[in-house]
Amino acid sequence: MRVDLAYEHSVRAAAMVFVRSLAAAGGGTVTRGQLQQFAYLGEPIKLLDTGRGIRNPRQLVATLTILTSAGSRYDDTPGPEGLLRYAIRDGELGQGDNRKLRAAFELALPIIWFHGVRDGVFVPLMPVFLAAEEAATKRYVVALDEDQLLMAPQLLTSSPIEGALGQALAQRRYVERMSRQRLHQPVFRAGVLLAYRTRCAVCSLTHGGLLDAAHITEDAADGGDPVTSNGLALCKIHHAAYDQDILGISPERVVHINRDVLEERDGPMLQHGLQEFHGTALRVIPERRAEQPDPDRLAQRFARFRNAS
């Protein structure tokens, strides 16, 4: 079969422009409904398949998008070298629906990876590449950019040569940092903002551009466990105040303001923005219990605030 690589790349580039503009307008997320609106040169091409983890448009020789649902039971955990994995959902590698997945791997074609944060709501990651096949676990090694694609063969051949251990560790740290920035942080942010209905937990500000997903407990080494129950949606001022222990949140979800700051006299921002929240309950709490702030994490963090004030 002759492969029209120019066409394969053009459709992918157009799909990525389309998805990027949706994500930019949607605070980093796209919905299933929006993704059904894509067309290339007037021809509709669906970007998601119902009930399948991969999307293989008939017009293309290779898979266009892959999907990891929210709370997925599939084994997508990274390998020992830090590169991400995508496990096939059904069948065998290179067979049936998975033939086009293998083609995307063999032709090193860019694909879009959708990560579910809710039913029908996704954080897109693109372009990604399938860097290697793992037959035993029916998984693909996923490269998050062309650099990782080029580095992958070297990263995947274990046992670094003598004297190169330092280099191998540095590469692994680089790969992990990249996964954090490109995947875990955007998925964490989207999950937290959705759970808090795009409002600051302290003051209920709704302006998405002024909201952050703050970590309750921050592990200096890995930037904090990226689960929603370790998050709080906070506006910029309350996030900064929380990080500097000017504002604390007790395990009972009550806001405390540092004693020195309570006694300061400044202006309306200090008064209305911070002092007046002292002793008030959090105004926004996620509806789902599993997404609510973890009391143990709040307690641990609140002890730090107590020590500082």
For residue 141, give the nearest of 75, 231, 72 by alpha carbon: 75
Site for Zn ion in 166-205 (CB under 5 A): 200, 202-203, 205
Q: Which is nearer to Zn ion, 109 or 235 (CB)?
A: 235
Indicate the residue among 47 and 202 with the shorter CB distance to Zn ion: 202
C-alpha span between 268 and 189 (Å, rounded): 30
Least distance (Å) between residue 239 CB and Zn ion? 8
Phi then psi for residue 286, to 5 deg, are -60, 145
- For 21, other C-beta atoms within 10 Å of its C-beta total 11
Task: Compute CA 29 distance to the chain's CA centroid, rounded to the nearest angstrom.
Answer: 10
Q: How far apart are CA 224 and CA 263, in angstroms?
A: 32
C-beta separation of 195 from 293 below 8 A: no
Pick 200 or 216: Cβ nearer Zn ion: 200
- Distance between CA atoms of 269 and 1, rounded to whole angstroms? 67
3-class DSSP state of 31: strand
Binding residues for Zn ion, total number by CB under 5 A: 6
Residue closer to Zn ion by CB (options 126, 203) is 203
Q: Of 89 and 238, which has the nearer Cβ to Zn ion? A: 238
Task: Report the nearest approach of Zn ion to the CB of residue 202 (Å).
Answer: 4
Kind of pairing between the strands at 121-134 and 111-118: antiparallel
Pairing outcome for strands 121-134 and 30-31: antiparallel
Residue 112 binds Zn ion (CB under 5 A): no
Q: Which of 89, 116, 104, 87 is nearest to 149 (CA)?
A: 104
Residues 225-254 that bind Zn ion (CB under 5 A): 235, 238
83, 142 Cβ separation under 8 angstroms: yes
Q: Comparing C-alpha atoms, which of 176, 186, 209 is closest to residue 122?
A: 186
* CB 43, min distance to Zn ion, A: 46
Least separation in angstroms between residue 242's CB and Zn ion is 10
Measured from the CB atom, is 66 or 200 closer to Zn ion?
A: 200
Shortest Å distance, C-beta 205 to Zn ion: 5
Q: How far is the CB of 278 from Zn ion (least distance, A)?
A: 14
Minimum CB distance to Zn ion smaller for 121 or for 274: 274
Amino acid at 19: V
Compute the least distance from the CB of residue 263 to Zn ion, in Å: 21
For Zn ion, the binding residues (CB under 5 A) are 200, 202-203, 205, 235, 238
